[in-house]
Amino acid sequence: MHLKHLRTLLSPQDGAAKVTCMAWSHNNAKFAVCTVDRVVLLYDEHGERRDKFSTKPADMKYGRKSYMVKGMAFSPDSTKIAIGQTDNIIYVYKIGEDWGDKKVICNKFIQTSAVTCLQWPAEYIIVFGLAEGKVRLANTKTNKSSTIYGTESYVVSLTTNCSGKGILSGHADGTIVRYFFDDEGSGESQGKLVNHPCPPYALAWATNSIVAAGCDRKIVAYGKEGHVLQTFDYSRDPQEREFTTAVSSPGGQSVVLGSYDRLRVFNWIPQRSIWEEAKPKEITNLYTITALAWKRDGSRLCVGTLCGGVEQFDCCLRRSIYKNNYSGG
C-alpha cells in the first residue's frame, strides 16, 4: 500500500492549533475532527464540511477553555459521538441521521481524573483510559461506568483489534496491557503483555502483531505473546523525530505511523510473515502529526497536525470491487 495525497480538509494555521482527535463513522458517511478550540467539525464522505458543534466543559464556572478534548469516537450505529475530556468527563452527543440535526447530550460519565484516550468498540460500550492509569468502561444503556483494570501509570494510548473484541492500552511507564471481551477462540493471554522501552504513544493492533513506537524513534513489532518480531531503528536518522501516533488499516494488513513531516507505512507480507516498509510519505511543513484516522472501508487515511491541518490521502493497494463494495487490502 502507498499513500496518495487527495486534498486538504482543513488548512493549517500559522501557530500551534493542534488537531487533538479524529474519527470516521462506522457507516463511512461521516468524518469528525476536533481541534484545540474544542469544536467538532463534521465532514461527509467526500471531504465536504457539512456541520459542526461546540463541546462543553464539565462545569461552566471554569469557563469554556478549561479543558481539552483527548478522545473521540462514533457509536457503532454512527448516530452518536463520544467525547473524552481532560476535565474528568465523557459526554455522548446524539448527532442525528441528517446534517444539521440538533446535537443533544444523551449520556455523561463523570470520572476521577482526566480522560486521555477513548474507543467505542461495541454497541453500548465505550472504553477509555485515565490519567490515573485506569482503563474503564462506560455503558451508554445503563449510564454507569466501571473499571476494567487499573495500573499505576498514565494511559497514553488505547486501541482495539480489527473485530473490536480486544483492547490494548499503552502506559507512560512503557507497559502495554491486553484485555479481551471475547478472545474469539485465539487463546491469547490477557494482562501485561510487554514493557516497551518508552511510552508507546504510537500503538496499533494489526492482524499478526502489535506495533509500538514513541520518543526513542524505534518501531517495534511484537508477536501475539509479546516477543519482539522486528525492530525498525531510526534513532540515528537526523531527519526522524519521535513517533506520536499510529493506526492500523481496517483489515489489519497495513500500519501507518506519524512523526514530524513524515508518515511511515508498513505492510504485512504473509508469505514471509514479516513487516515490510513502503516508501515513507515525506511532507515538508506538515509539522508534527497529532492524529490519524482510517476510513472503515480502507480507502482513505486522514492526517491531523499540530498546526491544525487535516490532510486526506488515498490508500492505493490491490483494488477490487467485491459484491459492489470497495475493498482495499
pLDDT tens figures, 170-200: 999 999 999 999 999 999 999 999 999 999 9
H-type alpha helices, 167-263: none
Closest Cα partner for 295 from 34, 25, 49, 5?
25
Cα–Cα dist 254/268, whole Å: 6
Asked whether residue 135 carries a pLDDT value surpassing 80, the answer given is yes
Q: What is the DSSP letter of 60?
A: G
Cα–Cα dist 183/189, whole Å: 9
What's the pLDDT score for residue 319?
Answer: 46
Asked whether residue 320 carries a pLDDT value surpassing 60, the answer given is no
What's the pLDDT score for residue 76?
Answer: 96
pLDDT (average), residues 51-65:
94
Cα–Cα dist 80/173, whole Å: 33
Q: From edge to edge, which strands make up the β-sheet containing 144-150?
A: 115-122, 125-130, 134-139, 144-150
What's the pLDDT score for residue 321?
Answer: 42
Helix and strand numbers, DSSP H then E, in the chain: 0, 31
The share of the chain scoring above pLDDT 90, in percent, equals 88
pLDDT tens figures, 151-176: 999 999 999 999 999 999 999 999 99
Q: How confident is the model at residue 318 (pLDDT cuts 50, 70, 90)?
A: low
Q: Cell triple for residue 234?
A: 531510526
2-316, CATH topology level: Methylamine Dehydrogenase; Chain H (2.130.10)
Q: Cell triple for residue 248?
A: 492500523
Strands 228-233 and 218-222: antiparallel
- Please state which of the ranges 43-47, 137-141, 231-235, 322-326 shows the lowest mean pLDDT: 322-326
Q: How confident is the model at residue 100 (pLDDT cuts 50, 70, 90)?
A: confident
Q: What is the DSSP letter of 46?
A: T
pTM of the prediction? 0.94
pLDDT (average), residues 105-117:
98
pLDDT tens figures, 275-314: 999 999 999 888 999 999 999 999 999 999 999 999 999 9
C-beta separation of 107 from 128 below 8 A? no
What's the pLDDT score for residue 96?
Answer: 86
b/e map of 248-260 (b: 16 or more CB within 10 Å)? bbbbbbbbbbbbb
pLDDT (average), residues 80-98:
96
Write the DSSP string, 122-177. ETTEEEEEETTSEEEEEETTTTEEEEEEE-SS-EEEEEE-TTSSEEEEEETTSEEE
Q: Cell triple for residue 48?
A: 465536504
Cα–Cα dist 173/317, whole Å: 37
Q: Cell triple for residue 307?
A: 498546526
pLDDT (average), residues 191-216:
97
Length of the chain: 329
